[in-house]
Structure 1
Amino acid sequence: MDKFEEKTTKTTEIFDGKIIKLQVDDVTLPDGKTSKREIVKHPGAVAVIALTSENKVVMVEQYRKPLEKSLVEIPAGKLEPGEKPEITAIRELEEETGYTTNNLAFVTSFYTSPGFADEILYLYFTDNLIPLVEEKDLDEDEFVELMEVTIEEAETMINEQKIHDAKTAYAIQYLRLRGLR
């Protein structure tokens, strides 16, 4: 038993949407007092660090409505019910970039916002990109622009806050640690 564990005494579902669910939990704290926790339930997601044969990072630019601006990110997407993360990774790579791979390596997984959400993101790496013969369709509400950038260009985009999400910043640091210049 975790010494900081909070015991849930009641869960109230607030919203059940296409991507997320929102609930409020009444909890008993370790000191016996009570509190409420607003929790976002998410099915999980994947992201792919994809390198071209020229050591360029494959990225996509897309508009992020919650931020009211476009970001440059590594290819990513949410898990479908019952889908294995590596299958999601290949599907998202194909849909968003026009590439596939037969060599996908698991890097790590991490919680994106553990203070209020249970979303876990599985991160994969490939440097064996194969252009698709026939491009896959994006989701009907998804609009992206493909980019292939050097590490230096990506670092400039981080400084300019064009890359401004944790998974992509993590990806660039991962590539630096692997010695990519």
Structure 2
Amino acid sequence: MNFEEKTLSEKTVFDGKVIKVAVEEVETPKGLKAQREIIHHVPAVAILALTDDHKMILEKQWRSPIHNTTLEIPAGKVDSRDSDDALHAAKRELNEETRFEAGKIKKISSFYTSIGVLDEFMTLYLATDLTPVKEKLPQDRDEQLVLEKVTLDEALKMIDVGEIEDAKTIMAIYYWQGMSNREYGSAK
């Protein structure tokens, strides 16, 4: 079965600092014409940062799209400072947002964050053996972050009661839970 839609036209309706919004007219495989609204976003990274005392680092910050504060893992976009290298971006974001560097960092997974309207492709990393950075990189001027450290049990409860609602963070916590089950036979 053919699923591919043919793009007949594309018009950029907004071109901002982080996103570009386009409206496409497409022809479906059945020959129907339809409109697609697409948000183009640069690649991004997120980091599950685990301390030596088995806690994860979360950031509390304001998120304008939902008009509320959130608890999230460190994350950010891959930009010109990174030469399109997601691993470099992850290390940079960890430094900027938490002031830690990882002795070990490994890729967990890459995924699209909201494929119904957005082409953002995110890579999730696991960072361990954390130590304070020797050289602090400049932080984003428009970000205000407060760091929290929580155990796996606390993080799972925060999901259950709705304190953590961010998808990348939930994914990271469930990865951590699975990792703990494999390493220790049960969640810690």
Identify whether the pair has TM-score above 0.5, normalized to the shorter chain: yes
Q: 2:104 is paired with a residue of what secondary structure?
A: coil
Provide the TM-score with structure 1 as the length reference. Answer: 0.95
Partner of 1:136: 137
Which residues of structure 2 form unaligned runs of 5+? 181-186
Partner of 1:109: 110
Any idea what the Cα deviations from partners look like across 1:106-164, whole Å, max 9, x if unmatched?
11011011011100110000211111134333201011001111011111221232211
Q: Distance in 1 between matches of 2:162 and 2:138?
A: 28
Q: Distance in 1 between matches of 2:39 and 2:166?
A: 19
Q: Percent of pairs identical after alignment?
A: 41
Query: In the comparison of the two structures, how many residue pairs are matched?
Result: 180
Whose helix proportion is higher, 1 or 2?
2
1:27 aligns with 2:26: yes
Q: Distance in 2 between matches of 1:80 and 1:162?
A: 30
Provide the TM-score with structure 2 as the length reference. Answer: 0.92
Q: Which amino acid aligns with 1:155?
A: L
1:162 aligns with 2:169: no
The CA RMSD measured in Å over matched residues stands at 1.2
Q: Distance in 1 between matches of 2:90 and 2:58?
A: 14
Q: Which amino acid aligns with 1:138?
A: Q
Which residues of structure 1 form unaligned runs of 5+? none
Instruction: Using the TM superposition, name which of 94-103 and 47-56 deviates more.
Output: 94-103
Q: Distance in 1 between matches of 2:64 and 2:152?
A: 27
| 1:7-156 map, 5 Å | 7-81=6-80, 82-156=83-157
Matched-pair contact (CA < 8 Å) for 2:8–2:27 = yes
